[in-house]
Amino acid sequence: MIHGLSRSRHWEYDHHVVPPISSSATFRLDSVERGAQGFIDFAHDSGDHHDLIYIYDRLDEPTRGMLEENLASAEGGAVALCFASGMAAISGVIHCLLQSGDHLVTHHVLYGCTYSLFTNWLPRHGIRVNFENLTDMAALRRSITPQTRVVYFETPVNPDMTLIDIESVRNVVDECNEARQANERIHVVVDNTFATPHCQRPIEYGADIVCHSLTKGIGGFGTDIGGVVIGPQEIRNQLLLYRKDFGGILSPKAAWATLVYGLPSLATRMVNYQKTAHHVARFLANHPKVEKVLYPGLSSFPQFDLAKKQMRDSKGRFAPGSMLYFVLKGADPDGRHGREFVNYVAQNAYSICLAVSLGQIKTLIECPFSMTHSALPPDEMAKHGVVPGGIRLSCGLEDWEDIVADLKAALDAV
Ligand SMILES: *Cc1c(COP(=O)(O)O)cnc(C)c1O
């Protein structure tokens, strides 16, 4: 991830240590014939026989192309396509895999905007969605119908850190696919934003397709919004066509920042985030005012064995990530106590910032119930552990002792 692929079809940069940035909406063509060939090649695999012909940024573009090669390689997928945001990537892959009459199965807790996409927009296109407990393979099996085409989930789940066993989901889906024609097969799609490819590569465990918000851990610095879909060669042409026509491309300037700063620094950031997350999780777990802490790296984590199985870096070392979810002690039905704590942090902390988003060099804290996940029905959230006073913390690169001191001061104050 630091050096990227040394050779790219996208640009001759053997003599650049840092890949060049492209910023050209349109491309000069030597002849009408070359232009015509470019349109023939676009979203057809025929383009592999000669040099790439660039026509227009919305179709294809070299800096984004280089980032896509490196993202595909980081996740162990054949191809990657970048989008304007994580939501553009998720809606792209969903619309390419599903059409009217089809059915999607997903986990009952999801990032708020993904939930909103699934409940506000997919039904308009005649796509039915079932929300299930995907930690329960019997429930998954029961929810699959002849119309099911996609099983979609996050692991760890945003925000409550539940893990879903990718390999077990794959096995259930394989059983169902056995009797199906190729065009009726169910695809397993995993949103790997929380873990990043440093901590978990879902394709190794049987996911067909991985998507990410590049805005988070991969982008890392919080300067640009972006998204990516990574998967097998077969999805490339349709996703390219979708992206061209719906128009949600990642700009080359945002692609360059991710290519040059975000992805190459991912491993070193993640190793340090993780070290901090361990210290913070242990501090919270031992604090008398804390009811529970969910961090996959704690041996008390309810799915610790699953965490140790599927959250691994590329060298096989345990990599439980940078995200924590915790709840304070005491009855807090409307979340006032949790909000007081976070407000104290927002106004007094030295190293923690109240903000949505995650995976940045700055430690970020928020209340999912009333903020990032407010699109989910409150009763459903509370039933599944996303309580009004629940707190999500994304560890950054500050000294862990400073972060713990901030949390301690806020716990003393409330
Ligand atoms: C933030 C986020 C998204 C959406 O990404 P954007 O880049 O904000 O559009 C999707 N999934 C998860 C898990 C996220 O945290």
pLDDT tens, residue by residue, 279-323: 999 999 999 999 999 999 999 999 999 999 999 999 999 999 999
- The encoded tokens of residue 12 equal 């001759």
- The encoded tokens of residue 161 equal 């850190």
Q: What's the number of CA atoms in the CB half-sphere (13 Å) around residue 165? A: 16
Q: What is the mean pLDDT of residues 186-211?
A: 98
Ligand 1: centre distance to CA 111 (Å)? 7
pLDDT tens for each residue of 250-287? 999 999 999 999 999 999 999 999 999 999 999 999 99
| Cα angle 80, 71, 325; round to 5 | 110
Query: Which residues form ligand 1's pocket by a CB distance below 6 Å?
Result: 85-87, 111, 113-114, 154, 158, 191, 193-194, 213, 215-216, 225, 227
- Residue whose CA lies nearest to ligand 1 atom number 4: 86
- The encoded tokens of residue 101 equal 């009459």
In 279-351, the DSSP E strands lie at 290-294, 323-328
Domains, the chain = 32-261 (3.40.640.10), 266-413 (3.90.1150.10)
Residue with tokens 């760890």: 156
Pairing of strands 103-107, 128-132: parallel
Ligand 1: centre distance to CA 84 (Å)? 11
Beta bridge partners of 318: 312
Ligand 1: centre distance to CA 14 (Å)? 34
The count of other CB atoms within 10 Å of the CB of residue 100 is 9
| Cα angle 392, 398, 402; round to 5 | 85
Question: Which is more confidently placed, 175 or 382?
Answer: 175
Return the pLDDT at 48: 63
Cβ atoms of 51 and 38 closer than 8 Å? no
Ligand 1: centre distance to CA 385 (Å)? 20
- Residue 47 pLDDT > 60: no
**Ligand 1, from 111, 160, 386: best to mutate by most atoms within 8 Å of Cβ?**
111
Q: What is the mean pLDDT of residues 370-378?
A: 94
Q: How far is CA 29 from the centre of its chain?
A: 37
Q: Given the CA of residue 215, which atom of ligand 1 is nearest to it? A: 7
Q: Given the CA of residue 88, which atom of ligand 1 is nearest to it? A: 9
Closest CA to 92 of 197, 218, 243: 243
- Residue whose CA lies nearest to ligand 1 atom number 2: 213
pTM of the model: 0.97
Q: What is the mean pLDDT of residues 33-43?
A: 94
pLDDT tens for each residue of 145-196? 999 999 999 999 999 999 999 999 999 999 999 999 999 999 999 999 999 9
How does the average pLDDT of the chain come out, rounded? 96
Share of the chain above pLDDT 90, in %: 92
Q: How far is 30 from 272, CA to CA, in rounded Å?
A: 50
**Ligand 1, from 87, 357, 392: best to mutate by most atoms within 8 Å of Cβ?**
87
Which string of DSSP letters, residue by residue, matches 142-210? HH--TTEEEEEEESSPTTT-----HHHHHHHHHHHHTTS-GGG--EEEEE-TTTHHHH--GGGGT-SEE
- Residue whose CA lies nearest to ligand 1 atom number 5: 86
Q: Which amino acid is at 301?
A: F
Q: What is the mean pLDDT of residues 385-398?
A: 97
- The encoded tokens of residue 5 equal 């692929």
Ligand 1: centre distance to CA 90 (Å)? 9
Share of the chain above pLDDT 70, in %: 98
- Residue whose CA lies nearest to ligand 1 atom number 9: 86
Q: How far is 164 from 190, CA to CA, in rounded Å?
A: 10
Q: How many residues does the chain have?
A: 414
Return the pLDDT at 412: 97
Return the pLDDT at 10: 79
Q: What is the mean pLDDT of residues 331-348?
A: 96
Instruction: Report the b/e string of 146-171 with b at 16+ CB within 10 A.
Output: eebbbbbbbbbbbbbbbbbbbebbbe
Ligand 1: centre distance to CA 36 (Å)? 37
The CA R_g of the chain, rounded to the nearest whole Å, is 22
Assign 81 to helix, strand or coil.
strand
Q: What is the mean pLDDT of residues 53-78?
A: 96
Q: How far is 287 from 16, CA to CA, in rounded Å?
A: 51
Return the pLDDT at 1: 87
